[in-house]
Amino acid sequence: MSNTEWVRAALRDLPIELPSWGFGNAGTRFGAFPEPGAARDIYEKIEDASTVHRLTGASPSVAVHIPWDLPPTGKNWADMAHFAKEQGVAIGAINPNLFQDHDYKLGSVCNPDPAVRKKAVAHLVECAEIAKVTGSEFISVWLADGTNYPGQDDIRDRRKRLQDALMEGYAAMAPDAKMLIEYKLFEPAFYTTDLSDWGTSLLMCHKLGDRAKVLVDTGHHGHYTNIEFIVATLLDEGRLGGFHFNDRRYADDDLIVGSANPFQLFLIFHELINGNDGKTAAPVAYMLDQCHVIESKIEAMVLSVLNVQTAYAKALLVDRTALRERQLAGDVLGAHAILRDAYETDVRPILAQAREEIGRPADPLQALREDACVKERRAWRLTNPPRASGGGLGA
């Protein structure tokens, strides 16, 4: 095996799941800037996700958000999954929406009103059933539950409500499915957040069972949080379920992963490799969670995949034998230099060769910009309504 063949093989075996919500027009509380020809329903989102996979060969599944991604009238979840298969991808994680309904003003599963909690639990169970139909392996749970003022609610009561609700959702899953429990430091609640950090998420996973794992969103932490330390700890505990990759400057910005802090992404992958076999990243769920406001949607997704692959390739090149020797010798800067050497390696030729070996373009971004099919699809969407059958003009 050549000196980079094993790196190329590892890259081919790292699936990066795409988020359906990253392909549609979205906005912020400051405004929205629609992209002409962007996807309008779940079928068109799947079409665009399949384009990313066709160009990169690295994104074989697309996560869906319920009820944002309800199939059009006359269609069902099985039809959606079949359409995805025809497009060359699969339906990935099922994401319940427990934060937008007006009934969730004071929380969803932690709400003091039993009727509201019952409604939220029913949605968790519904998503577990959808996962069975689509063959999805993961239920990804993020909650906006929390309080704004001291005394607004009993913190320990809310924790018990949270546990009881997630227990019901967990019990409804298929025997081989996993529940990924995400956390967020703040927002939208300002006083307490019911799942505020990796510790609260980990404790809840222990309550639920072995198939409950922590989901780390790289944008859901305070400034200067050492995410790679969290990754190493959760791997050591056997409770790292996966990632929602994105990047940030101040809060949960949903910037393209690796665009603001690529060194952090490299260090995360370094720990993922260290915590596995020293040769490949741990087999957890690698997902993007980004909503693009001013960027071209498909182009942003392609670039995100490329950035993840770049960080992974660099982390694979770390000389772990030399690193260990310098660590044990107390050679502080020598050990650090090992990481810097790998990080500063230009891996673009390796990535290009890895793509060409599986019949993908060496430069997926350039190929996207020249893709006549994508241009034709965008133009078609500007003058035609979405087709209930799944619309579009192919991958």
Separation CA 309–CA 304 (nearest Å): 9
Using pLDDT thresholds of 50, 70 and 90, give the confidence band for residue 1.
very low
Query: Is 199 domain-assigned?
Result: yes
Using pLDDT thresholds of 50, 70 and 90, give the confidence band for residue 391.
very low
Tens of pLDDT, residue by residue over 56-79, are 999 999 999 999 999 998 899 999
Position 390 pLDDT exceeds 80: no
Q: Domain range holding 267?
A: 5-383
Query: Is 253 domain-assigned?
Result: yes
Give the angle subtended at the CA of 110 by the CAs of 184 and 196, to the nearest 5°. 15
Q: What is the CATH number of the domain that holds 26?
A: 3.20.20.150
Separation CA 254–CA 261 (nearest Å): 13
Q: Which tokens hold the place of 381?
A: 């969407």
- Alpha-helical (H) ranges within 26-154 are 42-56, 77-86, 114-134
Task: For residue 89, give the H/E element and its range.
Answer: none
* Residue in this structure with the two tokens 């995805």, named with its chain if needed: 84
Strands 192-193 and 146-147 come out as antiparallel
Query: Is 327 domain-assigned?
Result: yes
Query: Is 306 domain-assigned?
Result: yes
Predicted TM-score of the model (pTM): 0.96
Query: Is 389 domain-assigned?
Result: no
For position 74, what pLDDT does the model report? 86
Query: Is 113 domain-assigned?
Result: yes
Report cis status (omega within 30 of 0) of the bond before 15: no
Domains contained in the chain, number: 1
Query: Is 391 domain-assigned?
Result: no
Query: Is 55 domain-assigned?
Result: yes
Separation CA 337–CA 362 (nearest Å): 30
* Residue in this structure with the two tokens 């307490």, named with its chain if needed: 192
Calculate mean pLDDT across residues 179-201. 96
